[in-house]
Amino acid sequence: AQSVAQPEDQVNVAEGNPLTVKCTYSVSGNPYLFWYVQYPNRGLQFLLKYITGDNLVKGSYGFEAEFNKSQTSFHLKKPSALVSDSALYFCAVRDIDQAGTALIFGKGTTLSVSS
Amino acid sequence: DTGVSQNPRHKITKRGQNVTFRCDPISEHNRLYWYRQTLGQGPEFLTYFQNEAQLEKSRLLSDRFSAERPKGSFSTLEIQRTEQGDSAMYLCASSPEGGSSYNEQFFGPGTRLTVL
């Protein structure tokens, strides 16, 4: 079965410091991987995706993520955090070798950036 | 605004009542999804349409839930005989058939249901 784990419920960083939000996944085939961000009272916003190709994926708002097949990880990173990055972040996976198009989401990680 | 829209944004109902939510996807997107999100959890897939055809249904979609997309444009999600456990945020998403945004799902703001 497909699954996503986000091991940290909350990540706290100071503004200007680098941030990492962790994600590991489990699929039987090859994965499509996604990061979404959710601000209060708003829907999920797409940040970036890994489909194929370069393992380092760059996305919106200066975020990037690195696909590591051997560790089945897709950690979200940003070199310098902003207070406005504070939000709820979701990692999601889809197994491209299985029928169906549903995304499987992790439980989410709350990022808190202090000034 | 050309994003995914959902109505109503909030719905409070009494247990046992029926409710219906509407989703208007991005106009050129032929794929439409419904998810449910409860507090402290990520979204959970409910169902998927390609044009007007409902192609996937999660086991979470009990027989009290029904979804339609009659003309391949907007979709409705109806919950009959609501239960307190149905209280959640119901999210709609759409995606295109192809192009650079293929595989990305664009989410609406959600409908928050509270069952008293």
Q: Do A101 and B40 touch (CB under 8 A)?
A: no
pLDDT in the model for residue A30? 86
B69-104: per-residue pLDDT in tens? 998 899 999 999 999 999 999 999 999 876 666 678
Strands (E) located in chain A? 3-5, 10-14, 19-21, 24-26, 31-38, 44-50, 56-58, 64-68, 73-78, 87-95, 104-105, 109-114
Q: Is the dihedral of CA A100, B62, B40, B87 positive or negative?
A: positive
Contacts of A32 in chain B (CB under 8 A): 103
- Using a CB–CB cutoff of 8 Å, tell me whether B21 touches chain A: no
**Mean pLDDT highest for which of A108-112, B25-29, B67-71?**
A108-112
User: Looking at residues A37-48, what average pLDDT do you find?
Assistant: 89
- What's chain B's average pLDDT? 92
Q: Which residue of chain B comes nearest to A34, CA vs CA?
A: B104
Question: Which one of B45, B58, B59, B100 makes the best mutation probe of the A interface by having the most chain A beta carbons within 10 Å?
Answer: B45
pLDDT in the model for residue B67? 96
Looking at the predicted structure, is the pLDDT value of residue A100 above 70? no
Looking at the predicted structure, is the pLDDT value of residue A84 above 90? yes
pLDDT in the model for residue B59? 87
Q: Which residue of chain A comes nearest to B10, CA vs CA?
A: A41
Residue-by-residue DSSP string for B4-43: -EEE-SEEEE-TT--EEEEEE--TT--EEEEEEE-TTS--
Looking at the predicted structure, is the pLDDT value of residue A90 above 90? yes
Tell me how crowded residue A57 is: count the other CB atoms within 10 A of its CB.
Answer: 21
Beta-carbon contacts of residue A104 (< 8 Å; ≥ 6 apart): A2, A3, A4, A92, A93, A94, B45
The minimum CA-CA distance between A23 and chain B, rounded to whole Å, is 13
- Using a CB–CB cutoff of 8 Å, tell me whether B96 touches chain A: no
